[in-house]
Every structure is written in C-alpha cells, then in structure tokens.
A and B are shown apart, each in its own frame.
Chain A
Amino acid sequence: MPFSVLFKKFKSILERNNAILELMGDMGDKLGGEYIYDRQYLFETCERLGDQVFKLISDLSLLCQRKNVALFTAFERIQFRIREEMAGRRTLSRPDHILPLAELTHDLADEGGNKMAGLGDIRNILGFDVPEGFVITAGAYFEVIGQAGLRRDAAQSAVFPGEAEADLAVMSARLQEAILRVPIPKRLARAIEKAARETAGKDGLLAVRSSAWGEDGESSFAGMYESVLGVPPGEILDAYRRVLSSLFAEQALRHRAHHGPSGEEPAMAVGVMRMVDARTSGGLYTYAPLRDQDRAMVVSAAWGLGKPIVEGTAETDTYLLDREPPYELLSSDIAAKTTRMALVPSGGTDIREVPDAEQAVPCLTPDQIAVLARTAMALERFFKRPLDVEWAFTGDDALVVLQARPLAIQPREPSRRPDAAQAARDAPVLLSGQGVAAMGGVASGPVHLVKQREDLSDFPYGAILVAMHSSPRYARVMPRCRGIITDIGSATGHMATIARELRVPTLVGVGNATRTLTEGREITLDADHGVIYDGMVEALCRFELVRKDVFEESWEYRTLKRVLKHITPLTLLDPKADSFSPEFCTTFHDIARYVHQRAVNKLISLSETHPELKGNASRRLVTRLPLGLAVIDVDGGISPDASAEAAEEDLLCHPLKALLEGLNASGMWETRPVAVGMGSFLSSLTRTLSAEQAHPRRMGRNLAVISKEYLNLHLRLGYHFTVVDAFVGGPVNDNVIYFRFMGGVTDLARRSRRAGLVATILEHFDFMVELKGDMVTGRLKQHPTQAMLDAMFMLGGLIGYTRQLDAMLDSDGAGKRHVETFLHRIAHAGRNKK
C-alpha cells in the first residue's frame, strides 16, 4: 500500500484519538454544576463514543493489515457493560450478594439501599467512623423471594390502591409469615454467616438494619422497617428474615399504598454491622424544627444504646446549638436519666439502672458536643439536606456515626422562595458572572486566602478557600472548608474532581477573586449562579438546603458517573508490560491508548522499512541534547534543503521549535548525577541516554511527526514517557496542546509525587489537568498562538526539568520546593525575556 494512504490512516487514528479524549472530557464536564443535560444526552454521547472507538480499531486494522479480533472483543465487552449500565442493569460482580461497607457508596445505592449507601459515603468518601459491617444486597432479596416463589406476590403488594384495609391485613400476614419461614439459598446463607462471623469478631454482637429501596427518601417515614439489635452471629439468618419481613408489615403496605410511587417494586437490602458498645448515644437534628429556632441544631443524648432515644421512650439531655461555627451552645436541658439500654453479652439488650451519681450529670462534654456539631454539619453539607443523625460515643471517646437520614422539614415553606430571591437581590454583590461551577451549591463563611507556599495544616475550619490556582493539594482541607474559589482553574481538573466527590461548592476561573476578596471577610458563594455576595445570605443557604432534589442523586448524574467508569480510567499504563495487550483493555481509554501506541510503532517501522520512503522520510534530528529523535515531516515542517541528519535550524514546525527552545534555553536539562546511592538503578537510565547515536529502534522509539503547525511527539527518556500532540498557529479555535506524562523508575510514591508536581505546574499554566496514579494529562485549548507557543516552551523546560526528578522526591515538601524552583527558572528563561 502506498505510504500516503497508510499515513492518512495514521493521521485519522490521531484525530480520532483526540476526538475520543475530547468526548470523554466533555462527559466529565457534565459532572460539574454548569450543564443541564438529560437521558437523551447520555444515550447519544455513549453511542457516539462507541462509534469512534470502533472506527479507531478499524483504522488500526487497516494500518497494520491485521484483523485485531482481540481488540474488537475488548470493545464489545466494554460496550456491553456501558449498555447494561444505561439500561439500569448492574452487572453483578458478586454472586454471593454480600457487599462490604468499605466498598459501598451512593453509586451502589440500588444494591445497598439508600440507608447503607449513605453510610458508605460517610465512611468511604467523608472519612468518618461508622460501625464495621456489610450489606446483604437487594439482589439477595430478589434471590431469596424468587426461590421461594414469592416474587410476584411481593411485587403485587405495591400496587393495590383502593383495596380494602382488611385485605391489606390479610396480605401482610400471609407475606410476613412466609418470609419468616423462607429458606435461604445455601450459598447465600453460608456467605451471610461467614461475613457475620467476621464482622462480629470474638464476642461481638451485630445490629441488623433495614435498607430498603426508597427508605429515607421523600415518601417514607423513619422507623417503618425493623432493626434487630444485639444479634449473635449464629442467629444472623433469623434476624435477616425478620428485617426482610418488615418490608410487608401492615403499616408499611398501607404507607406505600398511600405514598409510594405507583407500581415500583419494593426491595429490601439489609445492613449488618458490629454493635457499638456505646457509652453515650443519641440523635441530632441539624435543623431544629422549632418555630423560633430556625438556625439551631438540636442534640438528644442519653447513657447507653440509642434505641430508646430514637423511640422516644427515654429521658434525654437536650442541647441546642448554633448552626454556625463555633457552634455555640444556646441552651442545655439536663434530664434525670434513670435507665440506660445495654448490650447483653449472650445476645440482645436490656434496660439497666443508672447509678444515682450519674443520673443528673450531662452525658456529653463540651468537647464531645463540638465534635458532634462539626461532624453533623459536614454531613449536612455533603448530603445537601437537613439531617437526622444517629450517633454514639464509645468508651474511649470515639464518635461513631450510626445513620444519617434526611430530615423532612420545610422551614416556612410558603414564604421561603421569595425570601431567597429577595435576599439575593438585597445582598451586596462582590463578584458575579465570572467563573465556572466545578461543583454547584451555596456556601457561606469567612474567606481564607491561600498563598502559594502556604502550609495548609492551619486552614481555619469552616472557611471558604480562595486561591490563585486550583490545586489537587487542597484535597486535604476540603473536609474543613465550605467552598472553594479560584482565579484560574478548570472544571475538569483534578481538584474539581475531588471537590465533586466531596460535594464542596466550587467556582473556578473567576479571574480576580484573590484581588477582590479580603482575608476573613464573610461571604456567600452561589456557585450555580456564579455570584459571590458580601456577608452571610442566610435565606439563600436555607433555600439550597431544603430543595427537594439533589442533582448528585439524580438518575442522570449517577448513571453518567457509572458509565464513565467503563470509559475514562486508564489502566493500561506501561507499553513495555506484558499486560499491554487487548485482553487487558478494560475501558475505552485503554483501547484508545493501545491503538495509539500500536499506530506510532507501526509508523516508525514503516518509515524505516517502507520501500517508498527509504532514505528520506524519517530524519534524525541533531540537537544539543541526547533526544534520539526521528522526525517525519508531513507538510512543510522541515526545510526542503535539510539532509537525513537535520539540524534544529532546519525545523520550520512552530510547536516543535518552541518546545526545543524550552529544552535548550531554559537550562532545565539536569546533567548532574542525581544522588549518591541512586546509581544502581539509574545506570539503566544512563545507558539509554548515552545511546545517542544508536538506531531509533533501539533508542526507545522517539518520534516526532510534524507539519508547519502540527507536532505529534513521542518521547521516551529512560523510563519517562511523554506524549505531546499540538496544533499551534492556525485559527485560535483550532489551537490545542495535549500533553501526557507518565512513568519513572522509582517507587510509586515518588512517581506519584512527580506526577503531582507536573500537574501543579500544568494547572499553573492554565492546562486542564487529569491525574491518575503516576500519569498526568494536560490540555490547553484555544489560546492565542503566542500564548500557546509560550506553553510549548514551558513544556520543553518541564520535560527537561522533571526527567530524573522522581528520584529526588523523597518527601511532599521536596515536591513543593521543586514546583517553586521550576516556576522561578521558567519565568526567568521566558521566551519573551530572552
């Protein structure tokens, strides 16, 4: 086949690869707060993406004249999973229907039920203590009642509006009785018992709790289903049956008949947790449903276990706290607590006397109250709703969150809407109409300006973080901060992703926030509208809190997140590894990466061996630095007079010239020995680099495909693998730089540190950055040509500077120092300053 045809295929692969990355980025954008999209968008984008990936594989087949069956199979496998997700079917990866709490988040709400999924979020996303445990999934429920032949009856129980009350009682009795005697399929029973034993440990008892579909949602009320406490692991199956049967209690049937969404099949996941031997426990409403205390949270507490408190049968201490930090105690009412509920070691609970001396003592200390308040407000911000939190303090004073459910309150419903708009209209505006919502929502608090070198360990609790650049290092203070505002940053950056995970309202790219907002100033951030108000706009915060639908919990949002798991993660990292093969492609990104790599290899070998080209197509570029770079010119990228050994002066390709200039002129190419004692593993590196004169094939295949405006560069320096794909110099809208950096010879910690450093630097220069393990991708688009060439210059410096750097990154502090050194050097070597 003529080379021109093959090269066209190669170019088409590059273009498609970029289009795929674009689409993936576009889908990622939709997780931010800015866009309105619907089902249709999800279906259409998934189809388009699938289509592109399929054609990409077809292009490779043509280029390599192979059938690529394995690659098509991988594609089919991933495509199938995506379609299953879109259809709402979870491909069940756990035939035993047991899901450890450690693996549960909202994404698995269908399997684990709302209540347990919420607890999973509290543990796995927010990082608070919850009891150890697992969920027997809704899938298990279907298996159990399916095998017992009850599925139709059970489903039927949800669709009988208008039926006589007496019939309800009969139906309830029949179903409950059947379920209390239902045989549990052997494999499932064994799995439950095993997990129960492991969870209980030696002498431990279990709490077995309902987590039904729709429970704790808008149309349910608390306490409708059963919880069984103090269960010895040997009795787990009976407790499981009891909780399952409560799905069909008469009052539950009646409630669903009156409130339930018509026709939705009921299902019951069941949470099994190790009982917390509580010294004190209780409940907390983050928003007191009291007429004149609209801004208070209320805590009820008693000695021992919390069940009597929840049921309202115990004497409790009551504390009212301000909802704003430092959560001042507004009032406390200490009751005479004569009894407490305690665990019986052999199983179950009993009620005991409280010694006289302890009866009138407050059962919470000021410190405990403070911890509770902070935790509860963090939960409320995450769930974006007023909450009813069940909690316990253990004997060693650790707070354990037992449950958090939405509190069905509507503070002054009829008047709240005009309130919010009116308040927004009356409040002085500090900034508006700038920036992109990386995460929607409203937050208020004092401004804390974060400076570049600042040590974040003193970040004030409850403040709003305001910084020049977005940075992944803010992740560690996100649980403490209420909102984030940056002058520069993107909705697809690493920081934005974490902010979304933790649901911190975040506005990036505001431009002049650090100049406008002063330290300590109280502000309210409305990320959805891109407005920053002076002072605390209470009505706006309340409006946000009592809205019915939380976007992050919508089907569209959750489905997009699920689908993206099969699309964007890159697991195929090392092209030298055996696992770099179609069989190991688990996402569309993997496929794209694999195809790209294969195509580049193919092009290099073609350029070396193709009869049409032999001799002149691929030139060796002679540079001052040992890059071992072969150049293929597609269109006007090199002077027609250049020989097979082209000099830098022969280059006409703008982006490559700027990049090489950065490599040469900035003095970033570190030539000193890296560190004493590092020599052994660096020798391999040195060997590669000294092989400057070697044939490209042994050089690690460094290749640049160029035209006047275009550069596609694959640079492997030792174990550091860089890809640059850039179009610079056409219309501004076509200007784009894609940069990818990965690898390293040291351990993952150092490599990740270097990746973090590269990410920080790229974000500093306005790149949209993604960070996965030791791989960084950065994209810069649609800036004026001059700015794009400056960015290429910077990238040249960055490639040189970071080349051997991972070996030196023995601490996070070292990473920070190197960012500063680099920024300092590149600023002084700047293209314009020369």
Chain B
Amino acid sequence: MNHHIPDAAPPTGGSPAGRRTSILILDDEPIVCKRLKPFFQKAGYEVEAFGRPAEALDRVRERRFDVVITDLKMPGMDGLAFLGQVKTQHPDTNVIVITGFATLETARESFRNGVFDFVAKPFKLPAILDAVKRIEKERGLVP
C-alpha cells in the first residue's frame, strides 16, 4: 500500500536561479482547478487555472507557460485542439493531458500531437506532481 514518488524531494518548483516553473491548468470541472492550483502553488510553482478553454487560450496567446495541464473533453473546445494551439504558439511548452475518458485511441492521438504525458482521472496528487517534475528534469529546469 505504500506508495513512493521516484526521487522524492521536498516541494521544489522552479530553478535554483529563482525563476519558478509556470503551469497553466485548464479543466471545466471547477473541483480540479480548485485542488490542483493550491497544491502546485504550495509546491512552489507559478500557477494559473482556467475553467473555460477560450479564456485559457487568450492567456496562452499573451504569455508562455512551461507546462500546460489540460482536460480532454470540454464544452466549447476539445482538449486536443487546445493543445494544438498551445504547441503552435509555444512549441517548447510541455503538455500533460488529464482525462476521465481514457481510451487507447485518445492516448495515441494525444501523443501524436506532442503530449508529454497522459494521466487518467481520477489520479493521485503525487502522480501529477511527478509528471511535472519529469518535465522539469528533462528540460534542465531543476538541477
């Protein structure tokens, strides 16, 4: 039952130089934003959360995020379309898809679109933190 985060460390969002890793969260279920935002903030990340794809898209056009965490199925805009837009604007932004409708097909499609990771809902908080940490590591954002 014990569950270990690989190379677990205290919450350490961001580089030693002081710039914090920025995360955008998009999910139309308010509970997801409400819980993920303080969780990542407490871990030292710079976080913005959105419930509507259009608003998130506006924000992405204004600035670049290191990591985008997006739901797949939302009214208004498909998560895949959103991630396409993100990638067009900022090819180096890493995207993590979270979804309650995980099928092999959607997973495949997501990866084809350059998704870094795919997390099925419901998920454990340490699992998503771990996904973000792997991005940081891969991109040299953390030592």
- Selected contact of B41 from candidates A421, A437, A511, CB within 8 Å: A421
- Contact indicator A36/B122 (Cβ below 8 Å): yes
Give, as a whole number of angstroms, the nearest-CB distance from A201 to chain B.
44
Given contacts A34-B125, A44-B100, A554-B31, contact A424 B2 (CB under 8 A): no
Q: Is A509 part of the binding interface, using a Cβ–Cβ cutoff of 8 Å?
A: yes
- Contact indicator B44/A424 (Cβ below 8 Å): yes
- Selected contact of B44 from candidates A38, A421, A434, A490, CB within 8 Å: A421
| Chain B interface residue number, banded | 35 or more
- Selected contact of A421 from candidates B3, B43, B126, CB within 8 Å: B43
Residues of A within 8 A of B20 (CB): 421
Residues of A within 8 A of B7 (CB): 433
Q: Is B79 part of the binding interface, using a Cβ–Cβ cutoff of 8 Å?
A: no
CB-nearest residue of chain B relative to A511?
B2
- Contact indicator A528/B41 (Cβ below 8 Å): no
Question: For residues 1 through 54 of chain B, which have their beta carbon under 8 Å from a beta carbon of chain A?
Answer: 1-5, 7-13, 20, 27, 29, 31-32, 34-36, 38-39, 41-45
- Contact indicator B2/A36 (Cβ below 8 Å): no
- Contact indicator B35/A530 (Cβ below 8 Å): no
Given contacts A37-B121, A40-B121, A768-B1, contact A432 B126 (CB under 8 A): no
- Report which residue of A422, A425, A555 has the largest number of chain B beta carbons within 10 angstroms of its beta carbon: A425
- Contact indicator B43/A529 (Cβ below 8 Å): yes
- Selected contact of B121 from candidates A38, A432, A533, CB within 8 Å: A38
Given contacts A424-B42, A424-B44, contact A38 B29 (CB under 8 A): yes
Residues of B within 8 A of A529 (CB): 10-11, 39, 42-43, 125-126, 129
Q: Is B60 part of the binding interface, using a Cβ–Cβ cutoff of 8 Å?
A: no
A677–B103 Cα distance when bound, in Å, is 65
Given contacts A39-B29, A421-B43, contact A551 B8 (CB under 8 A): no
Residues of B within 8 A of A533 (CB): 10
Question: For residues 85 through 143 of chain B, which have their beta carbon under 8 Å from a beta carbon of chain A?
Answer: 98, 100-101, 121-126, 128-129
Give, as a whole number of angstroms, the nearest-CB distance from A49 to chain B.
15
- Contact indicator A424/B43 (Cβ below 8 Å): yes
- Contact indicator A432/B43 (Cβ below 8 Å): no
Question: For residues 47 through 93 of chain B, which have their beta carbon under 8 Å from a beta carbon of chain A?
Answer: none
CB-nearest residue of chain B relative to A33?
B125
- Contact indicator A540/B42 (Cβ below 8 Å): yes
Give, as a whole number of angstroms, the nearest-CB distance from A426 to chain B.
10
- Report which residue of B1, B20, B100 has the largest number of chain A beta carbons within 10 angstroms of its beta carbon: B1
A548–B9 Cα distance when bound, in Å, is 27
- Contact indicator A531/B4 (Cβ below 8 Å): no
Given contacts A36-B36, A425-B44, contact A435 B2 (CB under 8 A): yes
- Contact indicator B3/A425 (Cβ below 8 Å): no
Q: Is A77 part of the binding interface, using a Cβ–Cβ cutoff of 8 Å?
A: no
Question: For residues 473 through 532 of chain A, which have their beta carbon under 8 Å from a beta carbon of chain B?
Answer: 490-491, 509, 511, 526, 528-531
Given contacts A34-B124, A38-B100, A420-B42, contact A433 B11 (CB under 8 A): no
Q: Is A41 part of the binding interface, using a Cβ–Cβ cutoff of 8 Å?
A: yes
- Contact indicator B122/A37 (Cβ below 8 Å): yes
Residues of A within 8 A of B12 (CB): 425
- Chain A, residues 353-376, CB within 8 Å of chain B (1/0): the string is 000000000000000000000000
Residues of A within 8 A of B43 (CB): 421, 424, 529
- Contact indicator A36/B9 (Cβ below 8 Å): no
A555–B121 Cα distance when bound, in Å, is 17
Q: Is A84 part of the binding interface, using a Cβ–Cβ cutoff of 8 Å?
A: no
> 4 nearest interchain CB pairs?
A433-B8, A421-B44, A37-B122, A38-B29
Some 23 contacts from A to B, beta carbons below 8 A apart, are A30-B122, A35-B125, A36-B31, A38-B27, A38-B31, A38-B32, A39-B29, A421-B41, A424-B11, A425-B10, A433-B8, A434-B4, A435-B3, A491-B1, A511-B2, A526-B11, A526-B42, A528-B42, A529-B39, A543-B42, A547-B38, A549-B35, A766-B1
A37-B31, A41-B100, A436-B2 are known contacts; what are 8 more A-B pairs with Cβ within 8 Å?
A36-B35, A36-B125, A421-B42, A436-B3, A529-B43, A529-B125, A530-B126, A543-B41
A contacts, CB < 8 Å to B: 30, 33-41, 44, 417, 420-422, 424-425, 427, 429, 432-437, 490-491, 509, 511, 526, 528-531, 533, 540, 543, 547-549, 551, 554-556, 766, 768
